[in-house]
Amino acid sequence: MQKPRWKTVGGALLRVTAVWAVSTLTMLALAGILPDFSLKSGDGDSATRIAVTAASGAGAFGVLSALVWPLLVRALLLMPALVLGLLVFALNGSMLLIALSLIPDGPGTAEPETAVVVAAVMSAASSATSTFLTVRDDGAYRRRLARLAGRRRRRLGQDEGDEQSPGTVFLQLDGVGHAVLREALRERENRPPVMPTVAGWVRTTHRVMPWRTDWSSQTGASQLGILHGSNEDVPAFRWYEKKSGEVMVSNRPTSAAVLQRRAAARARHDGLLTVDGASRGNLFTGGADQLALVLSVAARRGKHNRSRSGYFAYFSDPANATRTAVSFLAEVVREIGQSTRAKLRRETPRVKRGGLYPLIRAFATVVERDVVVTAVMGDILSGRTAIYADLVAYDEVAHHSGPRGRDVQQVLARLDRSIALIANVAEYAPRDYRIVLLSDHGQSPGETFSGAYGLTLEDLVRAGCGLPVSRRAGRTSSGAEAREAGRAALRRPEKPEVEPDGRAGAAKADEDVAARHATVSDPIVLASGNLGLISFPDVPGRMSREQIDARHPTLLRTLADHPGVGFLLVRSEAHGAVVLGADGAEHRLDTGEVLGGVSPLAAFGPGAEDAVRRTAHFRNTPDIMVNSAYDPVRGTVHAFEEQIGSHGGLGGEQGHPFLLWPAELTAPVAAGEELIGAEQVHRVLRRWLAEADGPQVPEEEAEAETAGEARAGADARAGADARPPAGAELPEAAGAAHTVPESRRDGAPAAPFTVVSRGVPDQAR
């Protein structure tokens, strides 16, 4: 029975009054504690006068927070979100000063820095009181949910008597490998698991298994395949496209938009979330209509870009803004402390963690987490059917602190609390929800390539091409040997120390080599974790092995024989896709022929050959692809970027993320089979939506799926431990960016030699 309207209004007034009273008491308490905050005049006031001043100030502050704050936040959406977080305190304190000035004949005064503290505490107290009263009022809570559900039914044309099927929430824990997750679920020396919520699920209601990524083990390729069903022609996190003369970067809004359009065209549908979906914190939309913090639409202008509205929805509540700002500063301090401790202990491997990195980490682990989690909870309370959200905190921290250790354990524990919060909110939703956890890749530890060998991939390539290198690289044994071999092949031997004209011999030799290359563009070298990509922009199409050897006779052998390199991928005019390894080892992928004993891919485990063969035939595969060396015993790789936890290529845990699902859903694959590739994960998630009688890609848009894929889904259902819900019908076919050197529009590179490294939040990766 619905309550009379006057009772509803009366309850709302009671809550407003209670919040006002708590704010007043908080202001009185702070006036008594803080020396620079006063609510009385210099000659003294009565207790009644002080109480009236506090009540007036609290009321004015509350009104300003309700009316002015949302307008400020909307205006600040034009600024970077990181700046918004830093301005929260100043804006809140300014509103308090304005509120005190609005009191008629009011004696209230506060120093600006004190006003910031008072405003933060009052916002937190008001928010806590309002939340407590709302949750305690079950009737109000149910009425709110009923209104949200009613709106959705009317929008979807459903009858009030229709029973809603279960909704599905997909939470992506970015970068959390299967092995790291299993460790976080185990008890440790009589201590509880790092992730107790997820551990409880695995013991009771959920199942978990690893899956294997494509060669490009990074968020761009994995999430594109998972959300849109195709990640073809995505060889790495960043690559050079000869046709356009531009560098594509997965976490650049313009590049993400292009990748999404290409994937939709290949898959012949808009994505996993096309029908009644929400995409939160992702690189791509997945076809969803409801968006927040989605990179592929971040470059849009006008009313069609709703991605940044996620910031507004969250920060429009000043209490949220204050709480997140406090956590942001605490995370900055935590990172500075952790990096200082690592330096004092001389921990190895270690990378630099100064500059803007503490702010970047705090944004990824606090601001983005809070906004995304709040958006997901709003989707659940409004009864949305399919939600996909990416929580990037672990991946960002693990790049700089390593995939294991105390730093990342703290992040995993906070992620577990976010998952628990979402699960608790789902209990109040107008429909049942199934929560699926998954990751897009793992991370492999190891010292950086430059840290281990004293030179970068750029240096090694330049040396192999006979080009000048930095003094530091030239003094290393591998750099000197490669440089000497390159000069010999080019008939440019080392010169005497001093030439007759007084110039140093080496310097003159460098000038000679540079003159020889004046008409030839230098290679563009890019890095994606432990994957390197080398392109020669002046040669149209993909350069062949024979062409590379003719131009740079020692380059391929210099790279393949280096101890920090595992293998190279090139295209041979005679043999097609060829993998090159040390000591002349060669694996011809198109024919399966192996020369020199053992395949260079053998150390990388099962599936490596198929993964490399698939990438070898991409349109955007560069002239040379370099995968770092891999130590199977220690599980380590060498990142070509400044990362001690990396991903992007083959080797170790980076290629083994996880998938965790409710037991009532069918198993992803049949018993004894392996789940391989992001595109197959997409088909599994689509099948689960179908089992819940949820939104599905319309059949006329899914003609690209083969009958074989449908049979694979049927086999998986036959081997499942649990059956789908009764009555469920299964269809026949289940189914802030870093600046990167741009190329000029005329196709010529902006710089002769480019090495790009990461330094952005791993929403990107």
Query: 400, 364, 348, 415: which is closest to 184 by C-alpha?
Result: 415
One-letter amino acid for residue 552 of the chain: H
**Tokens encoding 485:** 């071999």
- How far is it, in rounded angstroms, from Cα 86 to Cα 58? 24
Q: What is the mean pLDDT of residues 610-637?
A: 96
* 46 band by pLDDT with thresholds 50, 70 and 90: low
Does residue 732 surpass a pLDDT of 90?
Answer: no
What tokens appear for 279 in the block?
């995409």
Specify the residue for token string 């290198």: 469
Determine the pLDDT at residue 293. 87
Helices (H), 465-530: 471-474, 477-489, 505-516
Give 130 or 111, the one with higher predicted confidence: 111
Count of CB atoms situated within 10 Å of the CB of 217: 37
The reported pLDDT for the residue numbered 381 is 84
Residue appearing with tokens 């370099």: 626
pLDDT higher at 370 or 744: 370
Confidence of residue 34 (pLDDT cuts 50, 70, 90): confident
Instruction: Tokens 């004894």: give the residue.
Output: 672
Higher pLDDT, 730 or 615: 615
Instruction: Determine the pLDDT at residue 60.
Output: 75
- What residues contact residue 43 under an 8 Å CB cut-off, 6+ apart? none
Q: What is the pLDDT of residue 89?
A: 58
Structure tokens at 437: 């956890």
- What percent of the chain lies above the pLDDT cut of 90? 48
d(CA 104, CA 2) in angstroms, rounded, equals 43
At 551 the pLDDT is 93
Q: Sort strands 167-173 and 386-391 into parallel, antiparallel or unpaired.
A: parallel
Q: How far apart are CA 167 and CA 172, in angstroms?
A: 16
Question: Hey, what's the torsion of the CAs at 341, 342, 346, 351, to 10 degrees?
Answer: -140
What pLDDT, on a 0 to 100 scale, did the predictor assign at position 374? 87
Q: DSSP 3-state assignment of 98?
A: helix
Q: Which letter does DSSP use for residue 738 in this model?
A: P
Burial class (CB in 10 A: 0-12, 13-18, 19+), 464: buried
Structure tokens, 458: 């750029």
Q: Whole-angstrom Cα distance, residue 535 to residue 539?
A: 9
Please, which pLDDT band fits residue 742 given cuts at 50, 70 and 90?
very low
Angle at which helices 81-101 and 47-76 cross, to 10°: 150
Q: What is the pLDDT of residue 734?
A: 30
Residue 511 confidence (pLDDT): 53
Among the listed residues 568, 539, 533, 565, the one whose alpha carbon sits nearest the alpha carbon of residue 551: 539
pLDDT in tens, 50-68: 777 777 777 776 676 666 6
* Tokens matching residue 438: 């998954």
Name the pLDDT band for 686 (thresholds 50, 70, 90): very high
**CA distance to 151, 162, 164, 165, 226, per residue, from 158 (Å):** 10, 7, 10, 12, 30
Q: In terms of Cα–Cα distance, which of 584, 90, 478, 633 is closest to 321? A: 90
- The residue-averaged pLDDT of 31-56 equals 69
Among the ranges given (8-12, 347-351, 354-358, 597-601), the one the predictor scored with the smallest mean pLDDT: 8-12
pLDDT bin (cut points 50, 70, 90) of residue 92 is low
> Under a CB-based contact definition with an 8 Å cutoff, are residues 174 and 438 in contact?
no
Residue 186, classified by CB atoms within 10 Å of its CB into exposed (0-12), middle (13-18) or buried (19+), is: exposed
222 has pLDDT over 90: yes
Report the SS3 class of residue 671.
Answer: coil
Euclidean distance between CA atoms 447 and 203, whole angstroms? 36
Q: Average pLDDT for residues 253-266, to the nearest whole number?
A: 95
pLDDT at 604: 96
DSSP 169: E
Cα 701 from Cα 291, distance rounded (Å): 22
Contacts of 182 (CB under 8 A, 6+ apart): 208
CB atoms within 10 A of CB 112: 12
What are 414's two structure tokens?
Answer: 């906070």
Average pLDDT in the chain: 78
What pLDDT sits at residue 494? 44
Neighbouring residues of 432: CB distance < 8 A, sequence distance ≥ 6: 166, 167
d(CA 506, CA 756): 28
**Start-to-end Cα distance in the chain:** 51
Q: What's the average model confidence in pLDDT over 516-528?
A: 77
* Contact between residue 274 and residue 44 where contact means Cβ atoms under 8 Å apart: no
pLDDT of residue 706: 40
Residue bearing the bigger pLDDT, 215 or 151: 215
Please determine, for residue 376, whether its predicted confidence score (pLDDT) is greater than 60.
yes
CB atoms within 10 A of CB 189: 4
Q: Say what the pLDDT of residue 754 is.
A: 32
In this structure, what is the dihedral angle of CA atoms 162, 168, 169, 170, given to the nearest 10 degrees? Answer: -160
For residue 522, what pLDDT band results from cuts at 50, 70 and 90?
A: confident
pLDDT tens-digit profile of 278-319?
A: 999 999 999 998 888 899 988 765 554 555 556 666 766 666
Tokens found for residue 569: 């991928």
Average pLDDT of the residues in 25-32: 76
> Which residues lie below 8 Å from residue 656, measured CB to CB, with a gap of 6+?
177, 178, 179, 210, 211, 212, 213, 442
Which residue, 378, 265, 754, is CA-closest to 532?
754
Q: Which comes out higher in pLDDT, residue 159 or 643?
A: 643
For the chain, the residue count is 765
Give me the pLDDT at residue 648, please: 96
The token pair that represents 406 in the structure block: 């105390």
Residue 606 has pLDDT above 60, yes or no: yes
Higher-confidence residue of 34 and 610: namely 610
Among 125-139, 224-238, 366-380, where is mean pLDDT lowest? 125-139
Tell me the torsion sign for CA atoms 135, 136, 142, 143.
negative
Q: Which whole number is the average pLDDT over 237-243?
A: 94
Check residue 753 and report its DSSP letter: S
